[in-house]
Structure 1
Amino acid sequence: MTGADGVVRRRVESGHHRLLATMVETVRVTRCAWRAPNAGNLYPADAVLSLPAVRHSAGLAKLAVIEAVRGSFDAAHAAITARCGQVIGKRQIEDQVVAAAVDVDAFYAACVPQPRTADDRCEPDPARARNGYGSVIAPAGQVIRAAFDQADSRDSVHARTWVVLVDGDPHQIRLLHTEAARRSVTINIVCDLIHVLEYCWRGARCLHAADDPAAEQCVAAWALGLLAGNIDQVIDDMNDRAAAVPTDRRGGLETTVRYLSRHRDYLRYDHALKQGWPIATGVVEGTARHLVGDRLEITGARWGLAGAEAILKLRAGDLQRRPGRVLDLSPRPRTTPRSPNPPPGEAHPHSLKRSDSMRVAHPLEVVDTATSGP
């Protein structure tokens, strides 16, 4: 018997066994080992039986991932123990979650959406109409490049209008301009209206008490002015009002004026509304709160970066594809001798993989508005 390492193993030895934790109980699997001096054992029966490299079966690993995505690791462990008995520990559940997410990025890199034109009158597919990417590890530049990659795949000739919604972070805006220049594409940046209104409220509280109806009327007047494109008038009004209040109460108004002045080019809401562009990111913000806050901010939770990244990716798949259809885990064929531990920083060659039924919706979204026709 010749292994993938090229070593010929001429001696067979029976009676070798390993434990396999399943959704029913932990079973003992006995098989033969092909052996050679100074070489690891080879177990052909492992490949025939599709045994995973780790102790836990594919079905148990899938259950562990689904339960961990829904709630805390403690809750996942309790649910599995109540259903299957003591077959997996909390630390092993965490390991299964990290292993289950290793192929997500490669999966989406292979699922490049086909560009559509205004003449396409097919029914819109929500899973294809939008795609997102988010990470707690990758820097902002990498996330922005991923968004541009998605947009490029939908409009490779740059014939359509590209609109980017931001909250006004200068570093983020610089990265967007740099990436757009690198790809020779024109982008239209719009500051999120809800974020702008938060600054307006900060300024209004310098003039009125928090429960004063006049504060709401003040913010409403400024908002209508911004929506009408009267940015200069709004800034002048804020400056005039700031001059009439004591110096120690002007902080919020001065901050708001600086924000509006610095982002003047991205506050053309009158033009955006005429063009039918979005001016607020409420849907994305709501998705981010559900995707990240409801899971990663559980009271008492402590996270490592690898675990948080895996949960983020897998929870996004659960959000997009309904519970129970998130993962289709199957063991990879065994072509090398069984190794109990992979090299540091590498996934095990027999880890689990996802099927093509998995899709992900992340906080950062690229939305294709042409899928439903002109």
Structure 2
Amino acid sequence: PYAERVQHDLVVQIDGAKAHLEEGWKEIKVGAFFSCDRSNPEAKPAAVSYVADWKSAQAFRQTLWQEALVRGAFTAGAVAVVGDGAPWIWETASWLFPQAVQILDWYHLTEHLGVAAKVVHGERTPATTALVEQWKTQVWEGRSEGVEDHLRELVAQGKDDNDNTLRKCADYLQTHQHRIRYHLFRAAGWPIGSGVVEGACKHVVGLRFKRQSTRWTKAGARAVLRLRLDRLNDRWHARCAHVRQQLRKAA
């Protein structure tokens, strides 16, 4: 059904959320796929589907690959991947979708800028607010190199803290330089936030697997997770039909 609805512009968002298993808190990796009408900035994500599992990053590639096939990602006109700064996300994106546009979540970036500004001017000061807004404007308009240069100048002036926050922020901007061209992404009609997958982390994982005083076995969690995904992806009836078929074979 998705192949009929996809408008050949596909967005893939990737993130992770913690779940309380018997052996402790484990990260469930989550992916969200949706078709994107880039001609209409106000258009909502369409035909959204989700995948999730607590496999290793490398093993999760196969899960994403299977959903990408269902969604027609490899025949789509254009694909964009949106995520935060976790290295495994971008290693996965480059491996699965080497031609895709890669976009660092805007709000994740602004958090880094905010932390760096506090090192320079302190907590909750007007100067901190002004500096954050200045840096955000520069990045928003495609002048991230200026922010990186400013940060390195501050480091050279001895303004960094013991955690090297300013240097790390400058390195972060350099690492993600091609993922923070927000002026180009906006002009092309791509989303610059990862809100769809962040929402999935809450309603696919958080609401069920973070309840107080509950811990899950891997088998139980995987079974419930699969059912939640089937329901959200409108594949519940297909799952039920498959189960009935297996029961008939067993009989």
Paired residues of 1:314 and 1:326 also in contact (CA < 8 A)? no
Paired residues of 1:226 and 1:267 also in contact (CA < 8 A)? yes
Choose which of 229, 240, 258 in structure 1 pairs with 2:171.
258
Choose which of 194, 198, 202 in structure 1 pairs with 2:115.
202
Matched, 1:114 2:4: yes
Distance 1:326 1:116 in 2: 20
For 2:20, the equivalent position in structure 1 comes to none
Matched, 1:180 2:97: yes
| Alignment root-mean-square deviation, CA | 3.4
Distance 2:184 2:5 in 1: 27
For 2:47, the equivalent position in structure 1 comes to 129
Structure 1: give runs of 5+ residues left out of the alignment: 1-110, 119-123, 337-348, 351-374
Distance 1:298 1:157 in 2: 38
Distance 2:69 2:52 in 1: 18
For 1:63, the equivalent position in structure 2 comes to none
Q: CA deviation at 1:292?
A: 1.4
Structure with more of its chain in strand, by fraction? 2
Distance 2:165 2:131 in 1: 14
Q: CA deviation at 1:151?
A: 3.8
Q: CA deviation at 1:196?
A: 1.1
Q: CA deviation at 1:230?
A: 0.5
For 2:22, the equivalent position in structure 1 comes to none
Per-residue CA shift, 1:26-51, capped at 9, x if unaligned?
xxxxxxxxxxxxxxxxxxxxxxxxxx
For 1:162, the equivalent position in structure 2 comes to 79
Choose which of 225, 229, 235 in structure 1 pairs with 2:148.
235
Distance 2:237 2:64 in 1: 25
Give SS of 2:80's match: strand
For 1:61, the equivalent position in structure 2 comes to none
1:317-328 pair list within 5 angstroms? 317-318=230-231
Aligned residues: 215
Distance 1:245 1:292 in 2: 43
Paired residues of 2:204 and 2:229 also in contact (CA < 8 A)? yes
Change in 2 beyond 3 A, CA 1:238/1:173: same
Paired residues of 2:160 and 2:167 also in contact (CA < 8 A)? no
Q: CA deviation at 1:115?
A: 6.0
Structure with more of its chain in helix, by fraction? 2
1:134-153 pair list within 5 angstroms? 134-136=52-54, 138-153=55-70
Matched, 1:222 2:127: no
Distance 2:239 2:73 in 1: 31
Letter in 2 for 1:180: F
1:16-165 pair list within 5 angstroms? 113-114=3-4, 116=6, 129-136=47-54, 138-155=55-72, 158=75, 160-165=77-82
Distance 2:248 2:72 in 1: 41
Letter in 2 for 1:208: H
Q: TM-score, normalised by structure 2?
A: 0.71
Change in 2 beyond 3 A, CA 1:163/1:248: closer
For 2:19, the equivalent position in structure 1 comes to none
Q: How much identity, in percent, do the aligned residues show?
A: 24
Q: CA deviation at 1:269?
A: 0.9
Give SS of 2:102's match: strand
Distance 1:155 1:325 in 2: 22
Distance 1:127 1:272 in 2: 16
Give SS of 2:213's match: coil
Distance 1:224 1:308 in 2: 43
Change in 2 beyond 3 A, CA 1:310/1:172: same
Structure 2: give runs of 5+ residues left out of the alignment: 9-36, 38-43
Give SS of 2:101's match: strand
Paired residues of 2:185 and 2:191 also in contact (CA < 8 A)? yes
Paired residues of 1:203 and 1:252 also in contact (CA < 8 A)? yes
